[in-house]
Amino acid sequence: MPAPASEAASAPVAGERIAKRLARAGLCSRREAERWIADGRVAVDGVVLTSPAVAVGAQARITVDGRPLPAAEPTRLWRYHKARGLICTRSDPRGRPTVFADLPAKLPRVVSVGRLDITSEGLLLLTNDGALARRLELPATGWLRSYRVRVFGRPDRGRLEALARGVTIDGIVYGPVDAALDRQRGGNAWLTVGLREGKNREVRRLMAHLGLTVNRIIRVAYGPFELGNLAPGAVAEVPRKVIAEQIGLETAARGDGRARASRRR
């Protein structure tokens, strides 16, 4: 068995981070890769890593649990309609149903781009490239996440519009949010909400700040990719040409297909 070593002696100084390489191979997300490294499961050129702060070159021999790292597959992306009641994790100690158990068996191992909480529904992007998932999750990507939100209460249009300036709630700073009232029906109202950060339970906390109680959240778009008419539980692959156009990945440009996502302007 390979012996542990410090990061300085374990890998070349040039190349890409080991966690990113593992994620690109479709084995896990970057965060999962870092946990694997901490657990001593990853070796480079026969040396067990003790830190994820390691860069590896193209010719590095990488193993996970003693098995060679598979070659990275072309980047793939899917639109998935998450149903209410599913959690975005691979396993749950409480035995609740998960997104990944709900996916068709024909799909390769995928990771989600961000999450939706158990009571939220709608568009969830899935990819076989953990590095891409991390990239698309970052606020710096600038992609608008759009939601249809049903609330109990009577929203004040002025306070909704004020969210565009950002707000601080319980010491947490939330960036600009687009929020508009679509219709009021009895004691409930439907809103369209767009945000770019996607902090934990952000929509619910913003609405509570306005004195509104959320009783349904549907994500209808993530950047240029839309839920469209996908039925709950359905999965549709995004053509590689569209991935290349919308995300700029040269490795995804192989193959063809008609665009199924439109750019939100």
CATH number at residue 182: 3.30.70.1560
Q: What's the structural domain count of the chain?
A: 3
Same domain, 64 and 93: no
In this prediction, residue 93 carries a pLDDT of 87
215 shares its domain with 152: yes
Identify the domain containing residue 214 by its residue range.
144-222
Q: 132 lies in a domain?
A: yes
pLDDT value for 66: 93
**241 with 124, same domain?**
yes
Active-site annotation holds for 117: yes
pLDDT confidence of residue 116: 94
Residues 100 and 229 in one domain: yes
CATH number at residue 232: 3.30.70.580
Q: Which residues contact 4 (CB under 8 A, 6 or more apart)?
A: 40, 47, 48, 49, 50
Task: Say yes or no: 59 and 109 in one domain.
Answer: no
pLDDT for the residue numbered 194: 96
209 occurs within a structural domain: yes
Q: Are residues 128 and 240 in the same domain?
A: yes
Per-residue pLDDT of the chain (265 residues; tens, 9 = 90+): 444 443 333 333 457 889 888 887 877 778 889 999 999 999 999 999 999 999 998 889 999 999 998 877 788 999 999 999 999 988 888 989 999 999 998 898 898 999 999 999 999 999 988 888 888 988 888 899 999 999 999 999 999 999 999 999 999 999 999 999 999 999 999 999 999 987 889 999 999 999 999 999 999 999 999 999 999 999 999 999 999 888 875 444 333 333 333 333 3
213 and 235 share a domain?
Answer: no
Instruction: Looking at the structure, tell me whether residues 188 and 208 fall in a common domain.
Output: yes
The dihedrals phi and psi of 258, each to the nearest 5 degrees, come to -90, 145
Both 129 and 150 in a single domain? no
Distances 218 to 4, 117, 190, 238 between C-alpha atoms, Å: 47, 11, 11, 20
* pLDDT at 249 (0 to 100): 55
The pLDDT of residue 237 is 96
Residues 132 and 229 in one domain: yes
Q: Are residues 63 and 97 in the same domain?
A: no
pLDDT value at residue 263: 33
Q: Is residue 72 classed exposed, middle or buried when 0-12, 13-18 and 19+ CB atoms within 10 A define those classes? A: middle
Catalytic residue among 45, 117, 156, 170: 117
